[in-house]
Amino acid sequence: MSTDRRDESARTGIAERYHLSKQHFWLHGPRTGPQVEFEAGMWNVYGYPEVHEIFGDPATFSSDTMRVIPEHLLPDGEDFSLKGFITQIDPPEHGKLRKLVSSAFTRKIVADLEPRIASLTHQLLDAARERGRFELVTDLAYPLPVIVIAELLGVPSSDRALFKKWADGLFERDSKVSLAEPAEGLDAERDAAMEATLKPWREMTSYLAAHAAERRRQPRADLLTRLVEAEVDGEKLPDDQVVNFAIVLLLAGHITTTMLLGNTVLCLDAFPEEQARVRADRSTVPAVIEESLRFLTPFAALGRATTREVELGGVTIPADQLLMIWLGAANRDPRQFRDPEVFDPRRDPNPHLGFGRGIHFCLGAPLARLEGRVALDILLDRFDTLRTDPDDPVVLMPAPTMTGVRRLALL
Ligand code: HEM
């Protein structure tokens, strides 16, 4: 990219160009305020070195965030608990669970999926061509990863409308959470929101529990069976842990990669010089995927809880506080990335935090990268140009903690 074009793309700004919401504040230019800030009852961390420090110290920055969320913000009832979810567990239990699930969900299992991912991508694109229109999310970015993870787990991919309903119920919230709201006054609204979360949760748990129980009786060649049978140092996963991990895979296995595919095509639309470059040299597809994870970070925020008083970015944070760590903002910190507002796949190294870092580093990263690479390669083969339709504007998911395309019509 010439310096002029680089400047022009950066000046136009992706947020202005696609009219993106102010809630996704990290897409609206570099931050000028403090890197660590108390707001709405929690500590927000925006800077790259500060976020890096958090990932490196799980003893101080615990993943068990539920214990610091006030009771009035948690759903009532015994059927909702994040206890036992791998993303919420701290050492030493985390290490044990991670070893067990990693023994079932290996790199080899993922690598062997490549031909299936390619043939599914072609099938989905053929179907879209027959329908005569192409909306990237509905036609490819959503169904592809869902079918892949369902087949891998061993649950019927034909149930995917059900999975979508559950994922939407859990993630499609459009407002920021606040711990600062009073406990009184918002009861009816809050109860309705809780019920909207609990219902899909209950349904998903009983659906996967039934499938896991079936695998105990009748093992099959699928990941659920491997999870049921996985054993490390003579220990197996208890039933509820099998179900919890299957829920994480089913949710993480589809919404995130859907975002990655949509976001990557959006980046190539916004930066046509980069589209031309990757067309000319396909060996750069993996670098395009990595830069897309930095530039439009799918999981834009994660939670942590302090276990002791700690100094971070020059600020003293007391013990037992909730932290929101804004990966989306850290990935655009000019102290770490030169010209952070520019989509530049030639960054080398590109130490983005899109998959997290440290002991909780995304277990599905090899699968997400593989799906991204295979699907993008095929899209580039089958479309002479990937361009969004100006008459059918791009829509982003409303949740402020996520950056993901919800609708992207191609010309
Ligand atoms: C963890 C992002 C795809 C499974 C994480 C974390 C991030 C992340 C940021 C760290 C969470 C934390 O530190 O609290 C993403 C992104 C994806 C993606 C951006 C796609 C572009 C997937 C896929 C799967 C998956 C496809 C599985 C099929 C997991 C699991 C963990 C995790 C199991 C928890 C690991 C642990 O706690 O030890 N992911 N993910 N992810 N991800 Fe992903």
Question: Which backbone phi and psi does 274 adopt, to 5 degrees?
Answer: -75, -35
Q: How far apart are CA 374 and CA 115, in angstroms?
A: 9
Q: Give the model confidence (pLDDT) of 143-187 as tens digits.
A: 999 999 999 999 998 998 898 888 887 776 555 555 555 555 556
Q: Do the strands 322-326 and 42-45 form a parallel or antiparallel pair, or are they unpaired?
A: parallel
By alpha-carbon position, which residue is closest to atom 43 of ligand 1?
Answer: 362
Q: How far apart are CA 39 and CA 45, in angstroms?
A: 11
- The amino acid at residue 149 is I
**Which pair of tokens denotes residue 144?**
């592809």
Q: Give the model confidence (pLDDT) of 96-131 as tens digits.
A: 999 988 988 899 999 999 999 999 999 999 999 999
**DSSP-derived 3-state class of residue 183:** coil
159 neighbors 211 (Cβ within 8 angstroms): no
Task: Tell which one of 355, 397, 403, 405 to mutate to probe ligand 1, the residue whose CB is within 8 A of the most ligand atoms.
Answer: 355
Output the CA–CA distances (angstroms, integers) from residue 296 to 26, 208, 315, 340, 352, in the order listed: 9, 31, 28, 11, 11
By alpha-carbon position, which residue is closest to atom 35 of ligand 1?
Answer: 360
DSSP letters, 362-373, are -TTHHHHHHHHH
What is residue 7's predicted lDDT score, i.e. its pLDDT?
A: 43
Q: What is the mean pLDDT of residues 394-402?
A: 89
260 neighbors 368 (Cβ within 8 angstroms): yes
**Which pair of tokens denotes residue 343?**
């989509």
Distance spanning both ends of the chain, measured CA to CA: 24
Q: Give the model confidence (pLDDT) of 17-54 as tens digits.
A: 888 888 889 898 888 889 999 998 999 999 999 999 99
Q: Give the model confidence (pLDDT) of 129-140 as tens digits.
A: 999 889 999 999
- Pocket, ligand 1, Cβ cutoff 6 A: 63, 86-87, 98, 149, 248-249, 252-253, 256-257, 260, 298-299, 302, 354-356, 360, 362-364, 367-368
The model's pTM is: 0.91
Give me the architecture of the 8-407 domain, per CATH.
Orthogonal Bundle (1.10)
Q: Give the model confidence (pLDDT) of 247-284 as tens digits.
A: 999 888 778 899 999 999 999 999 999 999 999 999 99
What is residue 2's predicted lDDT score, i.e. its pLDDT?
A: 42
For ligand 1, the distance from its centroid to the CA atom of residue 179, given in whole angstroms, is 25
Q: How far apart are CA 88 and CA 66, in angstroms?
A: 8
CA-based torsion, 161, 166, 169, 172: positive or negative: negative
For ligand 1, the distance from its centroid to the CA atom of residue 390, given in whole angstroms, is 33
Q: Do the strands 310-312 and 315-317 form a parallel or antiparallel pair, or are they unpaired?
A: antiparallel
Q: What is the mean pLDDT of residues 205-233?
A: 92
**Report for 5-9, 64-68, 236-240, 369-373: range of highest mean pLDDT:** 369-373
**DSSP-derived 3-state class of residue 195:** helix
CA–chain centroid gap for 39, Å, is: 24
Q: How far apart are CA 275 and CA 281, in angstroms?
A: 10
Q: What ipTM is given for this predicted complex? A: 0.99
Q: How confident is the model at residue 80 (pLDDT cuts 50, 70, 90)?
A: low
What is residue 50's predicted lDDT score, i.e. its pLDDT?
A: 98
Q: What is the mean pLDDT of residues 385-400?
A: 91
